[in-house]
Amino acid sequence: MTTTSPLDTYLTDFAGAARDYQAARAGRDPDWIADIRAEALDSFQELGLPTTRRGNEEWKYTDIRPLVRQGFTAPTIAGPGATPALDLDSLNVGSASWHRVVIVDGRYTPELSALDSLPDGVVTGSLAEAVHSESDAVRAHLTRLADHKEQGFTALNTALAADGALILLPRMAAVEEPIQVVYVSTEQTQGTASMPRTLIIAGEDSSASIVETHVSMSDDAHLTNAVTEIVVGAGASISYCKVQQESEATYNVSTTQVEVNENANFRSMAIDIGGRLTRNNLTVIMAGEGSNSDVRGAYVISRDQHVDNQVIVDHLVGHNDMNELYKGILDGHARSVFHGSIIVRPNAAKVNAMQVDKNLLLSNDAEADTKPAFWIYCDDVRCGHGAACGNLDDDSMFYLLSRGIGEEEARMMLIRAFVSEIVDAIREPSIHDHVAALIADKLDNL
C-alpha cells in the first residue's frame, strides 16, 4: 500500500493552485509571462521543497517540516476588492514622509500608497500592472537573476505571484526621500501562503534608498515566500533595507538576488525581529569593476524563533570591494544559522572582501551556528573572515557596575552597543531612526 507524505500532499496542492491560476490568467497577460509561469511550475514539480536530507548543506540546520505540517494553503488569487481598514502608522512601518508602495494581502493598494511626489521618470507601483505598462523593462529583468530552475521556493513564487512592486529608476534619477515597499498580511491570510514579488531596476548613475517591509496585522500563522530582484546599473548608488517584523507565528522565506555593475555602490541591510522561522537567501553578484558592496544584517530573536541567513557574494570580475557584517542577539531557545560564501572567480584579481558574523547569546539555551566560507580561484586578492559567539563580557559588566550603574541598565547598554555597529551604518537618518526604534522595542520585550 502506497502512502502519501504530508510533503507530497503539500506539493500537489500548490501545483494544482498554480495550474488554476494559469488558466484564470490565460489571455489576460502577455504570452511571455504565461511561459514563465508554466516553466516555473514545471521546475517546482521537479525540485519540490528543500529538506535537511544528507548532502543538502544549504538546509542542514533549518528544518521546514514544521512549515509543511502547518498545512498552509495556496493564496487565493482575487481581483481588486475593498481595502481592509488599517492604519499604517499604528503598524510602525516607517515615516509617513517616505514614498510608499503598499501591497495588502497580495494586492497593490493605491489608496494606501503615496507616490505623487516622485521625480519625473521614476516608476513605482504594481508589478502586475507594469507587466503591461513597462513591458520591455520588466521582461528584460524579471526572473533573470532569481532563477526558478534552481530553487523550489523561488519556482513556487514565480508560478503563483499575482502582484508585487516595481521600482524603476531611469538614468541619472536621484530620489531624495526613501522609497518603501510595504507588504501587509491581515487576518485574512491566516493559514495561507503569500508570494510577494519585488523588482528594482536602477539605471546608470541613479540613486535611491529603498526599504522593503513585511508586517503582520495579527498573530495568526501564515507563510510568506518573497522574491526580490535588484539590478544596480553602472555608476548607480542604491541603499536597500529589508525589515521583517511579522508575527512570531509566521514562516518567512526570502530570496534576494542582486547584480552590481561597474562603478556602482550597493548597501544592503537585513533586519529580522519577527517570524517563527525565517530563512534569508541573499546573493550579490559583483559584475563590474570599480563596484562596492556593503552587506549587513541584524537579528534579535527570542523564545523559539529561528533565523537562517545564507549569503553569497560572487565576484565575477576583479577590482571591486565588499564588506559583510552580520550580528545576532539571541535569547530563550532561539537559534540562528549563518552560512556566508565569498566566491572569487578566475582572473578576478584585486578583489578586497571581508566577512564577519558575531552572535551574542543571552541564554544558555540559545544556539548559533556559523559557517563562513571562501572559494578563491584567483591570486592577488585580499580576503578575510571571522566568526564569534559568546555571552556578555564580564569585565565590561564589572566596569559599568563599579561606576554605579544598575545591573539591568548595564546589561542593556552592552546589548545595544553590540548591535549599534550595524544600525549606525545606516546613512539615511529617517531609516536609521526607524530601525533603531524597532530593535529597541524588541530588546525591551526580551
Question: Tell me, what DSSP letter sits at residue 174?
Answer: B
Question: Could you tell me if residue 385 is inside a domain?
Answer: yes
Question: Could you tell me if residue 1 is inside a domain?
Answer: no
Question: Could you tell me if residue 319 is inside a domain?
Answer: yes
SS3 state at 83? coil
Element (H or E) spanning 213, and its range?
A: strand 207-216
User: What's the number of CA atoms in the CB half-sphere (13 Å) around residue 103?
Assistant: 29
Question: The domain containing residue 130 runs over which residues?
Answer: 6-391
Question: Could you tell me if residue 434 is inside a domain?
Answer: no
C-alpha–C-alpha distance, residues 362 and 143, integer Å = 41
For the chain, which ranges sit under pLDDT 50? 1-2
Beta-bridge mates of residue 337: 308, 369
Place of cell 569593476: 289
Contact 306, 277 (CB under 8 A): yes
| Antiparallel, parallel or unpaired: β 292-301 and 265-272 | parallel
C-alpha–C-alpha distance, residues 240 and 178, integer Å = 10
Provide the whole-model pTM: 0.96
C-alpha–C-alpha distance, residues 288 and 388, integer Å = 32
- What domain count does the chain have? 1
pLDDT value of position 329: 98
Question: Could you tell me if residue 438 is inside a domain?
Answer: no
Contact 59, 337 (CB under 8 A): no
pLDDT value of position 82: 55
Element (H or E) spanning 6, and its range?
A: helix 6-25
| Antiparallel, parallel or unpaired: β 123-126 and 164-169 | antiparallel
Question: Could you tell me if residue 417 is inside a domain?
Answer: no
C-alpha–C-alpha distance, residues 431 and 140, integer Å = 31
Question: Could you tell me if residue 400 is inside a domain?
Answer: no
| Residues 159-179 as b or e (16 or more Cβ within 10 Å = b) | bbbbbbbbbbbbeebebebbb
pLDDT value of position 24: 86
Question: Could you tell me if residue 411 is inside a domain?
Answer: no
- φ and ψ of 81, to 5 deg: -135, -170
